[in-house]
Amino acid sequence: MQKPFYLAIIVSILSIILLVYYFDTIGSILKEKQPETLFETIKNPEKEVVTRNPGKYALMAANVDEKKNLFYFFYLPFAAEAWRKIGFEPIVLLISSHETSLNGFNNNNPPAIRTIEYLKDMGATLKLIKSDKNYGLVTAMLCRLFVGVIDELMDEDYVLTSDSDLIPVGSNYYRIEDMEAITAWNAFCCGNFDFKKRTFQMYPMGHIGMKKKHWRGVMKLNPLTKINTQSIAKLLTESYDASYVKEDNKVGRGDGTWNADQRAYEGARFDRSEKDKSLRFLVENEFNRISDFHGFHSDFMERWEVSDLLFKRIFTYTVYENLTIFYKQFKESLPIK
Ligand SMILES: *[C@@H]1O[C@H](CO)[C@@H](O)[C@H](O)[C@H]1NC(C)=O
């Protein structure tokens, strides 16, 4: 089988599980739709560890052991601040094979350590996920599906998945119409997908939102499931077979499926595929049309100036200043080439 096919499968796992769930459960969720006061009621109080008012969260994940593709975590502080600005508290899963605790965390990767420090300082919710060596990428891609068993979240919290290099800009785009429903942003981008003689609609992993309890139902997760490479391998093996559990250097990047969520957008994306000149024009003349910024990749440092223009528009002056300090420290922490 070919690489794009494998990729299609990884990107689509969620859609498959979502669809199965759709027929089983969504009908009943929608029928049971309750008024917004549901915010105040916490079910199973004896099982809840956290006690606070339920909130809206944006969940990201990044492999902090990554030493080549630093853009996968460089944008986290910007994304976290941008989510907070539009009303979602950031929660970040940090994938590493090195440590089991964030106290005194040191994986010998200074830019990542600097990034984690920023996230800690701004009060983002952080959770360290232990990965098996060489399985950081697949663990980082799929651990977001385990929202349903993140102890730091409550059952009634609404959780939207996002990418570590995706910075939300237009708050209208992220308005939630129905807190009890499952929402897939840009849902019709990606066409269909055939597996075992059934056709499924593919959803981009980019943004899918629902309450924590619904995430657990969708994934049919036992509440005691631990999030790690083992449980992810189990999910992949049960849904497909063991050959889909791939090592870091065997997961393909950059083809049509990987980038599928970049197509079919209304509004404008501040997108790395555009030339700097067009991006400058966009931020200077059409800022209000911008829905989000999909961070630059290997040239993210060289293209700092143009992303900086956008950050200046997005953030208040004090947040922008803090992020600028982060950028400088991140740059200083880079290994000398
Ligand atoms: C900027 O950083 C300082 C020091 O970490 C912090 O006390 C302050 O709250 C931050 N300001 C904003 C607006 O985030």
Q: What is the pLDDT of residues 280-290, one digit of tens each?
A: 999 999 999 99
* Centroid of ligand 1 to alpha carbon of 284 (angstroms): 27
CB atoms within 10 A of CB 212: 21
In a domain, 157, yes or no: yes
Name the residue of 78, 121, 314, 326 to mutate for ligand 1: max ligand atoms within 8 A of Cβ. Answer: 121
Whether residue 66 is predicted with pLDDT greater than 80 in this model: the reply is: yes
Beta pairing, strands 198-201 & 192-195: antiparallel
Measure the CA–CA gap between 312 and 305, rounded to whole angstroms: 11
Question: What is the per-residue DSSP string for 269-286?
Answer: EEETTS-HHHHHHHHHH-
In a domain, 45, yes or no: yes
From residue 174, alpha-carbon distances to 7, 67, 79 in Å are 27, 32, 14
pLDDT score at 189: 64
End-to-end CA distance of the chain: 38
In a domain, 61, yes or no: yes
In a domain, 241, yes or no: yes
The token pair that represents 32 in the structure block: 């049971």
Max mean pLDDT range (76-85, 189-198, 267-276): 76-85
pLDDT score at 265: 44
Residue 270's pLDDT band (boundaries 50, 70, 90)? confident
Question: What is the per-residue DSSP string for 119-184?
Answer: HHHTT-EEEEEE--TT-HHHHHHHGGGGGGG-TTS-TT-EEEE--TTEEE--GGGG--S-TTS-EE
Three-state SS for 67? coil
In a domain, 317, yes or no: no
Ligand 1 atom showing the smallest separation from residue 121 Cα = 5
Its pTM stands at 0.79
Measure the CA–CA gap between 249 and 66, rounded to whole angstroms: 12
CA 85 to chain centre: 17
| CB under 8 A, 24+ apart: contacts of 40-45 | 41/156, 42/154, 42/155, 42/156, 43/155, 43/156, 43/213, 44/155
- Which residue range is the domain that position 166 belongs to? 9-248
Residue 224's pLDDT band (boundaries 50, 70, 90)? confident
pLDDT score at 44: 41
In a domain, 255, yes or no: no
Sign of the alpha-carbon dihedral angle for 306, 309, 311, 317: positive
Is 75 exposed, middle or buried (CB count within 10 Å of its CB: 0-12, 13-18, 19+)? buried
Residues having CB closer than 6 A to ligand 1 are: 121, 318-319, 322
Measure the CA–CA gap between 12 and 236, rounded to whole angstroms: 11
Tally of domains in the chain: 1
Name the residue of 84, 115, 318, 321 to mutate for ligand 1: max ligand atoms within 8 A of Cβ. Answer: 318
What burial letters (b/e) apply to 145-178, b meaning 16+ CB within 10 Å?
Answer: bbbbbbeebbbbbbbbbbbbbbbbbbeebbeeee
In a domain, 119, yes or no: yes
* Centroid of ligand 1 to alpha carbon of 325 (angstroms): 11
Q: What is the pLDDT of residues 16-64, one digit of tens each?
A: 444 444 444 433 343 333 333 333 333 344 445 667 899 999 999 999 9
In a domain, 296, yes or no: no
Name the residue of 117, 122, 324 to mutate for ligand 1: max ligand atoms within 8 A of Cβ. Answer: 122
